[in-house]
Structure 1
């Protein structure tokens, strides 16, 4: 992180973040990974826009994503769970079905961080991220440790407007510029 820094001369801009736990067995009472994400985003000064637990089913995950993507009060979605290799792990397929653009570097950065902690076992994760209709979508593995790694190593910085040399918040107003151009042409 030597090239990363927080520029204290810039104002902090809170982001409205929805948290989705993908699991067939979790409830809000025992959702440690979801709790980890909520605690971290709130401690950073962001707003929890919504929270849901969704079963490991592509249609259910897509439905929740589409609802949040359509909600102007949600700027980003962070999910936990369902990014592995088993038959029930379908979060990545659901997310990719709604992406307009994939953020390839998110997976690369996540694996670099994970490599330091779990070595070659990182290949069993399919952490992914993308953009759909101006909403950032991040899919993290289901363990609290992976959520900490994804937030502490990547999202804490990229969702902070003060982060230099660049961050995802400062380009949020431009994510939909192609739609505005198309609307203006008609």
Structure 2
């Protein structure tokens, strides 16, 4: 007897761009992630740009983690080694569990494109309050690598043998109008 076919489950995803120079017009990485998640069938819950400041990042992410409407957070930028890059330091303390394999796999896949420079990527991921958080470099190509090579499948309930969908908090739905 075969297992019943799993259905796609649209998730509510927030996108955070960490940059001292990007704005809504120039945020190509954030726009790519929004376009990719929408094309896949997920929902954009929110999108923000914050400067590379530990406390601004933590505030935005903490609000989403505490929200009843966000299941996934995609963070682009601030994962390198420059003096201002502080995304891992800002986000890692918020994790209940880390997803070590994400950074390892991201660097492995990236090696094909950028060679040994991939060792400078501090891509990280983890779970916080039933929300999965993926942090990736700020370049659009790095976001494509992360989304297409890892994240998209892990956010698809149909992906076997496992994915993160069952680990995520359920989203509150609005009551129908007749119950108001």
Q: TM-score, normalised by structure 1?
A: 0.87
Q: Secondary structure at the match of 1:51?
A: strand
CA contact (8 A) 1:19 1:34 kept: yes
The aligned counterpart of 1:95 is: 91
* Long gaps (5+) in structure 2: 171-180
- 2:11 maps to which of 8, 15, 23: 15
Distance, in Å, in 2 between the alignment partners of 1:94 and 1:38 is 22
Match for residue 164 of structure 1 among 120, 137, 160 = 160
Give the alignment partner of residue 21 of structure 2, picking from 10, 13, 25: 25
Give the C-alpha shift of residue 34 in structure 1.
Answer: 0.3
Q: Is the 1:8–1:162 Cα contact (8 Å) retained in structure 2?
A: no
**Secondary structure of 1:56 counterpart:** coil
RMSD (Å) for aligned C-alpha atoms: 1.5
Task: Write out the 4+ residue segments of structure 1 that deviate beyond 4 Å after TM superposition.
Answer: none
Deviation at 1:173, TM superposition (A): 5.2
TM-score by length of 2: 0.90
How far is the alpha carbon of 1:116 from its aligned partner?
A: 1.2
The one of 34, 45, 61 aligned to 1:38: 34
Aligned residue number for residue 60 of structure 2 = 64
Partner of 1:131: 127
Cα distance in structure 1, aligned partners of 2:61 and 2:124: 14
Distance 1:97 1:57 in 2: 15
SS at match of 2:135: strand
For residues 109 and 13 of structure 1, the distance between their equivalents in structure 2, rounded to whole angstroms, comes to 24
Give, in angstroms, the shift of residue 10 of structure 1: 1.2
Structure 1: gaps of 5 or more residues: 1-6, 175-186
Residue 109 of structure 2: SS of its match in structure 1? helix
The residue aligned with 2:175 is none
